[in-house]
Structure 1
């Protein structure tokens, strides 16, 4: 990912990494040294009263280092990448107007991508439309549907093989539902690219096994701090159900299953650690394959100094 859009644009720092990579500690170290304000990029920390399982900074930390986009909504509501982009841009504008630099820190990689690139407003999948396309393909064959796509969306058709059923189906579905070709919708999202000079830094582990140990220790600490009691409190305070985004968060989902009798309590720790490791794996894949920031070894004792050196002229 390109770190710079234009030298004339206001600067913004993106500090991203998997869970347990020490992002918050590095961000606070930077806040002690530079005129930055922190913006949380975390799909779980937006929920109020969800503190332990989200590793939300405590009240004393938030008082010393205020975080934007923390404690925004109750756990009964949903929060989207599109809403994050709107909220983050508003916070960034306020921070820049104060002469400070936005420092966006977190591990929700889709939010970073939405902020940088914008979001294509694509229609949701429609089973009836897909079934009709499948019937047409069964009758005429996918090459014939590819030829049809060439007439309505030549740009998309040109990059698809004539037998790429899944992508041909999706492109035709989008056209039937929206009346616009996929290529036009993607071009519109490209115009949403954010007008900031981004410096993107990823905290990645040089040794995955050490990150796994951190994850295990972190989840054990959450359990000792009262994660189960926190979930019980949330269930008493709010009309929650297991399908809500808040209760699908790692840790909360496993505790919910224990409290509903779906998971033996003695398996909670192992299930929570496994789910957190899977989350970290997905985050690392996003970082390496999609976002591609400059990287710093999150296991290095001087990780914050290394990040500060990478920022260089951005914060001077």
Structure 2
């Protein structure tokens, strides 16, 4: 099986990066984050959640993404979509993670074939995932119905409002989504495509922090030499690259095979790469990395939140263990 990207896939990836560079440049990200911080100081928490969609400029951004076909990537051409596959969607979501694009991207993308207005970006859709709901008050529709007893949380990520909902009754499938091109979720209840695309976002973030760390290590001088010339910094950057490429191989392979166990493994590796790379990037930046002005902390906070999306590390490890046990018994 050939896992190398085709010319069309490389063009899609490059085009997506260019598009997001125009729709969501670094200046727009920083403006949204700073506006969020000001609003949190001036407003009560419920009010902050209610107008989250407007503060992040999500409506305008969502419509622009809809016009570009972002949400309709896997919708059949006869239904007005682009008719691409899960592998292509993973490439696009990798770029979204790299740019720290806000909002319930995965849920709206998965709803594009069934929820009117989702494919065009006219409707923002979210879903219950492991007891957590992102952008609940900002969404036009919650898959499975609005959860009862949802409690607003103070999210560590300034651009990802969170609610916690009570666990569904035993045997409930409210967290599942219909229409998966890969199939239904495994016994753990997570949705394979959602997990794969979340892993792709984590991969994009891991790649971005690696690039950021290497660039800073070349520019920042200490004792008359770039800090990248010191062995300790070289080791940090090399470790970041290794984690990124291992996660990339796992995510790309899982996107092609569609195997639920491989997707769980890809999510595990991508979560680890995103979180640890952001931490190492912060270390390469030294004291500057801890400041609000640096964007490093935004990647770390978003990676923490995505790691809470199912399957979480413990679930992914159990799935891998069960798969290895089954294979060994054959």
Q: Is the TM-score greater than 0.5?
A: no
Per the normalisation by structure 1, the TM-score is 0.28
